[in-house]
């Protein structure tokens, strides 16, 4: 297969690689915006279901890259290296007009570095957390990319300080989620009662996250229900596989607890809830944009945590706290994730006024609402234009 560029009146080719569901969402938004100006473009690489539904051609399944943590990656390293080598070989023979790596920095930045050596323009969409740990990675990023697209404003400031090309595009979630999320409508949609308190149990989208968090989540839920028998629990799941894992762990740790499991309606569940007990990650930003109080928990594998804590220099690990530079929402990490800590924090957010917190969430929403997919597409096309100018010269 030979890929031609649009200079010879052939279709423009955008290579994209994503590694998880949040990247799939970003990729789908980017493809939709790029098609506004390039309706006949070809999109190829590694995508998820949302991208594939838009005609994206996946060379590997996205799940190949869905691993997190040093130990977890080491267990898959041979396969990951094979996938990356295959992509390098493919794209150096079938050169795209531009390559966009979406998140998955440990995989994509190495890939971008190899492609850029072959005169392929590269964009990295979603800044790695270089401002948090392994700050020297910014020099590798500078070598690997022609442009970094940052979702958060403080990230661009960091890149500007190091004179690395970066564009703040805002966050697509802030564009997609309305300023006010109607709790009553969400409950009607899900068939949930209007007159009960609801706690969402959200242990993450990865198998390792569920296995590390759910025992504490279930024990906390049992204690909360013992204090309020009317309290309801809802758990949004992203796949049948995670649903099966959730149900198996519930049967082990909380067989008598009633939990409504909902598939592929995470934002509706958040909107319907009074509080969220959630893993860390992009979902905490969704929760802030939906304006729901939350208690955030995270557990790494012991070795990953031991190695990582020597390098991380953040006061906080959740996006709401990082964006406001203050302790806006409670965070529990590693051994602090336990019912003794979770239960009182959840109770406070279930039964006390949260209007001041909502004001802070609204300010975050307004800051990030920038039509991100359109801004990202514009930045990608600017990189593409610079390539064509170079080629014409």
pLDDT band at 393 (very low <50, low <70, confident <90, very high): very low
The domain at 176-368 falls in which architecture?
Answer: 3-Layer(aba) Sandwich (3.40)
Question: What single-letter DSSP state applies at residue 309?
Answer: T
Domain range summary for the chain, segments of one domain joined by +:
6-170+370-392, 176-368
Domains 6-170+370-392 and 176-368 belong to one CATH topology: yes
- Reported as a pLDDT band with limits 50, 70 and 90, residue 388 is low
Residue 176: both structure tokens together: 């997609």
Task: Record the tokens describing residue 357, joined without a space.
Answer: 């917190």
State pLDDT tens for residues 291-304.
999 999 988 765 65
Check whether 5 has a pLDDT greater than 70: no
In the prediction, which pLDDT does 70 show? 44
- The larger pLDDT score, comparing residue 255 to residue 22, is at 255
Out of 76-90, 93-107, 178-192, 263-277, which region has the weakest mean confidence (pLDDT)? 76-90
Q: What is the model's pLDDT at position 89?
A: 96
pLDDT digits (tens, 9 = 90+) for 113-156: 999 999 999 999 999 876 555 667 889 999 999 999 999 998 99
Mean pLDDT, residues 243-254: 95
**pLDDT band at 3; cut points 50, 70, 90:** very low
CB 164 within 8 A of CB 141: yes
Task: Quote the pTM value.
Answer: 0.78
Alpha-carbon distance of 296 to 349, in angstroms, equals 12
Would you state the pLDDT for residue 242? 93
Task: Output the average pLDDT for the chain.
Answer: 88
Tens digit of pLDDT for each residue in 24-55? 989 999 999 999 999 999 999 999 999 999 99
**Does residue 71 surpass a pLDDT of 80?**
no
Q: What is the rounded distance in angstroms from the CA atom of residue 29 to the CA atom of residue 112?
A: 21
Bridge partners, 332 (sequence order): 297
Report d(CA 136, CA 134) in Å as an integer: 5
pLDDT of residue 216: 95
Phi, psi of 329 (to 5 degrees): -130, 150
Q: How far apart are CA 11 and CA 38, in angstroms?
A: 8
Q: What is d(CA 272, CA 246) in angstroms, rounded to the nearest whole number? A: 20
Mean pLDDT of 177-200: 96
pLDDT bin (cut points 50, 70, 90) of residue 69 is very low
Q: What's domain 6-170+370-392's architecture?
A: 3-Layer(aba) Sandwich (3.40)
Tell me the C-alpha distance between 225 and 257, whole Å.
9
**Distance between CA atoms of 149 and 35, rounded to whole angstroms?**
19
Q: Determine the distance from the C-alpha atom of residue 246 to the mean position of all C-alpha atoms in its chain, rounded to a whole number.
A: 20
Confidence band, pLDDT 50/70/90 cuts, at residue 158: confident
Whether the predicted pLDDT of 350 surpasses 70: yes
User: Does 262 have pLDDT greater than 80?
Assistant: yes
What secondary structure letter does DSSP report for 10? Answer: P
């Amino acid at each position: 297969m030979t890929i031609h560029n649009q200079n010879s009146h052939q279709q423009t080719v955008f290579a994209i690689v994503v590694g998880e569901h949040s990247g799939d969402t970003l990729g789908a938004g980017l493809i939709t915006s790029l098609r506004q100006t390039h309706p006949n473009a070809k999109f190829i690489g590694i995508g998820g279901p949302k991208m594939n539904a838009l005609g994206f051609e996946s060379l590997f399944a996205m799940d190949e890259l869905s691993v997190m943590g040093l130990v977890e990656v080491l267990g898959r390293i041979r396969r990951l290296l094979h996938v990356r080598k295959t992509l390098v070989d493919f794209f150096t023979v079938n050169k795209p007009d531009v390559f966009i790596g979406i998140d998955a920095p440990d995989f994509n930045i190495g890939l971008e570095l190899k492609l850029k050596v072959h005169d392929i323009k590269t964009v990295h969409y979603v800044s790695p957390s270089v401002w948090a740990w392994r700050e020297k990675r910014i020099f590798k990023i500078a070598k690997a990319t022609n442009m970094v697209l940052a979702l958060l404003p403080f990230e661009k400031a960091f890149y500007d300080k190091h004179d690395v090309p970066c564009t703040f595009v805002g966050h697509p979630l802030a564009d997609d989620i309305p300023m006010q999320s109607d709790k009553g409508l969400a409950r009607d949609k899900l068939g949930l009662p209007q007159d009960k308190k609801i706690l969402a149990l959200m242990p993450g989208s990865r198998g390792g996250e569920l296995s590390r968090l759910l025992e504490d989540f279930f024990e906390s839920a049992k204690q909360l229900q013992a204090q309020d028998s009317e309290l309801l629990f809802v758990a949004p799941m992203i796949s049948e596989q995670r649903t099966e894992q959730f149900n198996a762990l519930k049967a082990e740790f909380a067989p008598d607890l009633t939990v409504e499991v909902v598939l592929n309606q995470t934002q509706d569940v958040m909107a319907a809830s009074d509080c969220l007990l959630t893993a860390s990650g992009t979902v905490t930003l969704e929760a802030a944009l939906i304006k729901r109080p939350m208690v955030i928990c995270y557990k790494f594998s012991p070795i990953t945590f031991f190695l990582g804590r020597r390098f991380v220099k953040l006061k906080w690990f959740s996006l709401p706290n990082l964006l406001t530079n203050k302790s806006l929402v409670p965070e529990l990490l590693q051994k602090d994730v336990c019912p003794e800590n979770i239960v009182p924090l959840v109770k406070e957010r279930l039964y006390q006024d949260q209007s001041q917190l909502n004001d802070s969430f609204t300010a975050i929403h307004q800051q990030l609402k920038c039509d991100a997919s359109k801004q990202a597409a514009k930045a990608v096309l600017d990189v593409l234009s610079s390539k064509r100018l170079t080629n014409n010269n």
